[in-house]
């Protein structure tokens, strides 16, 4: 029999249903794998007792013949999701030993459907980063290595722990959050599938807020179908988040495998950026050829404001972050540093509790929102956001069903290699993904090949609002053609 | 647009983040780097363009003005760094 940790979610669901193994055995196999993989630093908190208790309850329901859709499926949860009774830190020192007294809506949906919590996974502090190097718990290591090299690579970010855990078989799937690429970029770096749903598809309630108009939760898994299975449970209307939409949640799993014949797929010419590695260019052409072979029609399209998405993002996201993160003041939760007076207490607590990248973004956000600069920076960026969204709308209005682009401008890089001297160098990682957040669209990263050094590369599919189904159908075509990619175990 | 050391100190104060004197110059350089990067936005013609206020067009939902939660002071205070009875404790704010 295959190792239990190597199963897909669909395969595990089948095995559990036919009682080939129990949910407790499945959870145990993962807990053991997690113990052996601590060198990856993917988990910031393992919850073995809770995992076994949940698995036991799953076994009881399976025994009664009443399994829920995710019954007994062991998952990792990004530490941005509040989990009741389980420490939640957002990868920051400032939250200290914060133990929520409530559960995020998305994770509550997973437990409602029978999933099992293995633990909380690492992320860049407050999800601000593209390499998982800004976490207060230290960097996460990518299970992938360059051929013939021991150099530790980043798993991408901000959901680096989620990506590393799923790729290294330390969970069958994971949750992530994506504000500028934080699900799709790490999925690409780790050779797995990741989806950022349409803004409003998943409730943001109970997720630590970074940039509220851009943040969206989504799933990671090792296949397109597994990602679709998780997506169906995570999505859905929530009265506690007024930006969550009241639309029926489709059967995404059924969408994976649907024909893509006759679909019109846009190839945005502005994504052919200067200095794009030849391997990425080749991968993109290969992806287009696969979709064409499956009966889709490829059309070159133009999204003229693409190059402004990243600079506009670095106004909008820090502005919203500076406002959202004002709540960390040492009064209601988290750490407190004593000061001369209350203002001194705030200033010292925040200087001590926030890391370098978070402090820098709060300050940028404070500046662009300050009197005299608000119109020049923030309002202008929001106008440009309107133009970015309009570019997509015009293409969709001309009958384009989805777009195909590379997911990232490079494969995974080494720890400490980027952004040390110039933060912009790190920000450029999100050049292909950030447009999707700015326009509120769904995006799917699907592994599509390995580069010359043996590292995974991915393609991105961008969809019309609330049409995640088309992305799952197209993603399945890419996966069927490209195959799946598993790192060799060295840990 | 680029900012000077006094502006760095002013932003730090507005953001309520203590910044040591020897960090100011470094921060100034980084913030100016980011401001230079976003400077390219000024070349876009945004005349007559509405600033985005909601990425998905939706009417603001309303709910009944009714109590749906609350009455659990202990849960609210459970993670407080300092509490006394059902109150958060902060340094003295009024002399």
Find the CATH number of the domain harbouring A178: 3.90.1300.10
Give the separation between CA A150 and CA A142, rounded to whole angstroms: 11
ipTM of the complex: 0.96
**Residue A1: pLDDT band by 50, 70, 90 thresholds?**
very low
B56 touches chain A (CB under 8 A): yes
Shortest Cα distance from A165 to chain B (angstroms)? 29
Nearest to A384 among B41, B55, B91 (CB): B41
Spell out which residues of chain A touch residue B38, defining contact as CB-CB under 8 Å. Answer: 311-312, 314-315, 377, 381
Shortest Cα distance from A198 to chain B (angstroms)? 9
User: Are B80 and A333 an interchain contact pair (Cβ–Cβ within 8 Å)?
Assistant: yes
Residue B94, pLDDT score: 82
What does the block give as tokens for A403?
């777009």
Catalytic residue annotation of A? 78, 158, 182
Shortest Cα distance from B80 to chain A (angstroms)? 5
User: Are A389 and B52 an interchain contact pair (Cβ–Cβ within 8 Å)?
Assistant: yes
**Quick check: is A290 in a domain?**
no
Residue B93, pLDDT score: 86
Query: Which residue does chain B place closest to A427, by CA atoms?
Result: B34
**Quick check: is A247 in a domain?**
yes
A101 touches chain B (CB under 8 A): yes
Cα dihedral A207, A468, A408, A422, rounded to 10, equals -30
Give the separation between CA A240 and CA A205, rounded to whole angstroms: 6
Most A CBs within 10 Å, among B51, B64, B68, to test the A interface: B51
How many beta carbons lie within 10 A of that of residue A111, not counting itself? Answer: 19
B93 touches chain A (CB under 8 A): yes
**Residue-wise pLDDT tens digits, B23-62:** 999 999 999 999 999 999 999 999 999 999 889 888 878 8
**Residue-wise pLDDT tens digits, A306-316:** 999 999 999 99
Q: Where are the domains of chain B?
A: 5-43
Nearest to B88 among A99, A326, A331 (CB): A331
User: Region A132-146: what's the mean pLDDT?
Assistant: 98
**Quick check: is A198 in a domain?**
yes
Give the range of the structural domain holding residue A44, as residue numbers without chain letter: 4-258+444-482
Write down the mean pLDDT value for chain A.
97
Which residue in A199, A178, A213, A205 sits closest to A245, CA to CA?
A: A199
**Residue-wise pLDDT tens digits, A27-58:** 999 999 999 999 999 999 999 999 999 999 99
Number of domains in chain A: 1
Shortest Cα distance from B90 to chain A (angstroms)? 7
The pTM (predicted TM-score) of the whole model is 0.97
User: Are A370 and B14 an interchain contact pair (Cβ–Cβ within 8 Å)?
Assistant: yes
Residue B76 pLDDT greater than 80, yes or no: yes
Cα of first residue to Cα of last residue in chain A, in angstroms, is 23
In chain A, % of residues over pLDDT 90: 96
**Residue holding tokens 């420490």?**
A87
**Quick check: is A40 in a domain?**
yes
A356 touches chain B (CB under 8 A): no
Nearest to A380 among B7, B46, B56 (CB): B46
| Region for B29 from its dihedrals, namely left if φ exceeds 0, alpha if ψ lies in -120 to 50, beta otherwise | alpha
């Amino acid at each position: 029999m295959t190792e239990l940790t190597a199963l897909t979610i669909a395969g595990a669901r089948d095995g559990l249903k036919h009682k080939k193994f129990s949910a407790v055995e499945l959870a145990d196999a993962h807990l053991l794998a997690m113990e052996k993989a601590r060198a990856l630093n993917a988990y910031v908190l393992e919850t073995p007792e809770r995992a076994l208790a949940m698995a036991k309850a799953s076994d009881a329901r399976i025994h009664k013949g009443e399994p829920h859709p995710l019954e007994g499926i062991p998952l990792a949860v990004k530490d941005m999701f509040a989990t009741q009774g389980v420490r939640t830190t957002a990868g920051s020192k400032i939250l200290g030993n914060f133990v929520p007294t409530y559960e995020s809506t998305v994770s509550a949906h997973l437990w409602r459907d029978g999933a099992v919590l293995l633990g909380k996974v690492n992320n860049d502090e407050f999800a601000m980063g593209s390499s998982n190097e800004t976490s207060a718990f230290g960097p996460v290591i990518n299970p992938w290595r360059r051929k013939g090299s021991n150099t530790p690579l980043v798993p991408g970010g901000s959901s680096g722990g989620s990506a590393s855990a799923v790729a290294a078989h330390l969970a069958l799937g994971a949750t992530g959050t994506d504000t500028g690429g934080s699900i799709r970029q790490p999925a690409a770096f780790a050779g797995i599938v990741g989806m950022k749903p349409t803004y409003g598809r998943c409730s943001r309630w109970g997720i630590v807020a970074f940039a509220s108009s851009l943040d969206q939760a989504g799933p990671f898994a090792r296949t397109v179908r597994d990602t679709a299975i998780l997506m169906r449970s995570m999505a859905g209307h929530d009265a506690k988040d007024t930006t969550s939409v009241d639309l029926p949640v489709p059967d995404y799993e059924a969408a994976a495998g649907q024909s893509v014949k006759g679909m019109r797929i846009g190839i945005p010419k502005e994504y052919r950026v200067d200095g794009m590695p030849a391997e990425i260019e080749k991968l993109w052409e290969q992806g287009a050829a696969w979709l064409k072979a499956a009966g889709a029609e490829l059309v070159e399209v133009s999204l003229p404001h693409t190059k402004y998405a990243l600079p506009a993002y670095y106004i909008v996201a820090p502005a919203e972050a500076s406002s959202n993160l004002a709540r960390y003041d040492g009064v209601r939760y988290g750490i407190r540093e004593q000061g001369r007076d209350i203002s001194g207490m705030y200033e010292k607590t925040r200087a001590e509790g926030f890391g370098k990248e978070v402090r820098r973004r709060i300050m940028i956000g404070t500046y662009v929102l300050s009197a005299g600069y608000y119109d020049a920076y923030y309002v202008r960026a929001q106008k440009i956001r309107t133009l970015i969204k309009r570019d997509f709308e015009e293409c969709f209005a001309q009958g384009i069903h989805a777009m195909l682009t590379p997911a990232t401008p490079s494969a995974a890089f080494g720890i400490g290699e980027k952004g040390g001297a110039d933060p912009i160098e790190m920000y450029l990682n999100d050049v292909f993904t950030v447009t999707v957040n700015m326009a509120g669209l769904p995006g799917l990263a699907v592994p599509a090949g390995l580069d010359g050094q043996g590292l995974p590369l991915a393609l991105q599919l961008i969809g019309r609002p609330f049409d995640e189904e088309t992305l799952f159908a197209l993603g399945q075509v890419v996966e069927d053609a490209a195959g799946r990619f598993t790192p060799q175990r060295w840990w | 647009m680029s900012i000077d050391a006094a502006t760095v100190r002013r932003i730090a104060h507005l953001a309520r983040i203590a910044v040591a004197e020897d960090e100011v110059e470094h921060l100034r350089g980084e913030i100016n780097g980011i401001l230079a990067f976003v400077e390219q936005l000024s070349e876009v013609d945004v005349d007559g363009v509405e600033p985005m206020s909601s990425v998905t067009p939706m009417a603001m939902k309303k709910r009944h003005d009714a109590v749906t939660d609350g009455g659990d002071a202990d849960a609210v205070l459970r993670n407080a760094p300092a509490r006394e009875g059902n109150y958060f404790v902060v340094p003295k704010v009024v002399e």
